[in-house]
Chains A and B, each alone.
Chain A
Amino acid sequence: AQSVTQLGSHVSVSEGALVLLRCNYSSSVPPYLFWYVQYPNQGLQLLLKYTTGATLVKGINGFEAEFKKSETSFHLTKPSAHMSDAAEYFCAVSEEGYGGSQGNLIFGKGTKLSVKP
């Protein structure tokens, strides 16, 4: 069964510093991997996803993530943090669903990112 581990429930960075949020997964099939962001009292917004092809995936708001099969990792990075990046970030892997399609998502526990001025 698939699972996701996010290292660090809280990460704090200074504005302008590098953001690195870690995600490791386990999957018995080639995974579809996702990063979602959640602002307080809101639903989840997709930042980026990996399905097949290029292992470096670029998303919205300057975020990117690299799929490393050998390390079973999909870490999220942003070169320069902005105050508006403060939110909770969730890594997810897709279960294999009906007829080989994507099924439900399995989420990590989330990492809350704080950005200091």
Chain B
Amino acid sequence: DTGVSQDPRHKITKRGQNVTFRCDPISEHNRLYWYRQTLGQGPEFLTYFQNEAQLEKSRLLSDRFSAERPKGSFSTLEIQRTEQGDSAMYLCASSRTGWETQYFGPGTRLLVL
């Protein structure tokens, strides 16, 4: 396994701009999760996919956030009209099935100026 990868690792943007992050899960992992981690806090759940189906979304995932996993492999998380409160580390995790361990990527650190 090459591990979960995320791109970019760092992103600085101005308030009001749109940003998109990519997550490549471990090969053949069906589940893919997105979390957000702010300074001094534990990760908070945003959404998860089973293959290409988005099964659950947190209330944290406002209308400005959208996630996709079109072919059941990589996933993208887009934030529209970014706000300073969106500044955080965005973590992606994958698991082989819904009953197995979640493996985390290195995260994308977003700073909104």
Contact = CB atoms under 8 A, between A and B. Distances in A.
Interface of A: 4, 9, 36, 41-46, 49, 90, 92, 95, 97-99, 101-110
A27 B16 CA distance: 39
Nearest to A101: B98
Interface of B: 4, 33, 35, 40-45, 48, 50, 55-56, 58, 91, 93, 95, 97-107, 109
A98 B33 contact: no
B74 to A, nearest CB: 16
A104 B45 contact: yes
Contacts of B101: 46, 49
A92 B42 CA distance: 9
Nearest to A88: B42
Given A43-B4, A107-B44, A102 B99 contact: yes
Nearest to A95: B45
Contacts of A36: 104
Given A49-B101, A104-B48, A43 B91 contact: yes
A117 to B, nearest CB: 26
Given A102-B99, A104-B33, A107-B43, A43 B50 contact: no
Contact of B104 (A4, A43, A98): A43
A97 B55 contact: yes
A98 B56 contact: yes
B99 A101 contact: yes
B43 A90 contact: yes
B43 A44 contact: yes
A98 B105 CA distance: 23
A5 B93 CA distance: 22
Leading 3 A-B pairs by shortest Cβ distance? A101-B98, A107-B42, A104-B45
A97 B98 contact: yes
A110 B50 contact: no
Contact of B50 (A45, A46, A98): A98
